[in-house]
Chains A and B, each alone.
Chain A
Amino acid sequence: DTAVSQTPKYLVTQMGNDKSIKCEQNLGHDTMYWYKQDSKKFLKIMFSYNNKELIINETVPNRFSPKSPDKAHLNLHINSLELGDSAVYFCASSQVLYSGNTIYFGEGSWLTVV
């Protein structure tokens, strides 16, 4: 009964490939996010969706495209992968957008681009 689940957990792929990471939450939350933990260990927001609509889109290359088929899912597609995309990607959800509520994170997806 995992609250926020993301797949795959580990992904090793070659430069130039296109890959997707899937995320699902069963908490009934309205808002979902993608975070990237970079090499310096900072957790940085990439995207935020509220009721399937894009709310926050930080400065992320166009190669990254989130897709939210419904409120419970937010998938991350990455085209033309580059070495610098290697990171841990965390999906998360919250009841509302940041208004003092806590965020529930998935376990992370370790992406390695070789």
Chain B
Amino acid sequence: DQQVKQNSPSLSVQEGRISILNCDYTNSMFDYFLWYKKYPAEGPTFLISISSIKDKNEDGRFTVFLNKSAKHLSLHIVPSQPGDSAVYFCAASAKGNDMRFGAGTRLTVKP
């Protein structure tokens, strides 16, 4: 039962443009959402998070949007840079319960 889904396994964008990574979830009890970034041969590293009481959280070039009614969140990267090329994992948790991860989206930013 994959409660967190990232339906796009890969995304390619041009440097300087916007990257939009999407994530859908099925569990309405989730109240905390995170994005992780993973480079090859490394573990995932935390990027940005959002609590269910918010619909937007911004950190520099990275913005996460949460649409609770649609059970959808997205990560926007503006402007995209070649160093942003990595696999991005969406994750969600419900208080007191374990975190569920999506399968990841591989982002390639072309110079």
Chain B positions 31-88 with a Cβ under 8 Å from a chain A Cβ: 32, 34, 36, 41-46, 49, 51, 87
User: A40 to B103, Cβ gap below 8 A?
Assistant: yes
User: B43 to A100, Cβ gap below 8 A?
Assistant: no
Contact pattern, A 45-64, Cβ under 8 Å of B = 1, otherwise 0: 10010000000101000000
Which of B87, B95, B102 is in CB contact (< 8 Å) with A100? B95
User: B2 to A42, Cβ gap below 8 A?
Assistant: yes
Chain A positions 21-80 with a Cβ under 8 Å from a chain B Cβ: 40-45, 48, 56, 58
Contacts of A48 in B (CB 8 A): 98
For the side of the interface on B, what is the size category?
20 to 34
CB of A17 within 8 A of chain B?
Answer: no
For the side of the interface on A, what is the size category?
20 to 34
User: A97 to B96, Cβ gap below 8 A?
Assistant: yes
User: B41 to A98, Cβ gap below 8 A?
Assistant: no
Supplied contacts A102-B49, A104-B45, A104-B46, 15 more A-B pairs, CB within 8 Å: A40-B103, A41-B104, A42-B2, A43-B44, A45-B99, A48-B98, A58-B98, A97-B96, A98-B96, A98-B97, A98-B98, A100-B93, A106-B43, A107-B41, A107-B42
List 20 A-B residue pairs with CB atoms under 8 Å apart, sorted by A's residue number: A41-B104, A42-B2, A42-B101, A43-B44, A43-B91, A56-B98, A90-B43, A92-B43, A97-B96, A98-B97, A99-B95, A100-B51, A100-B95, A102-B49, A104-B45, A105-B36, A105-B43, A105-B44, A107-B41, A107-B43
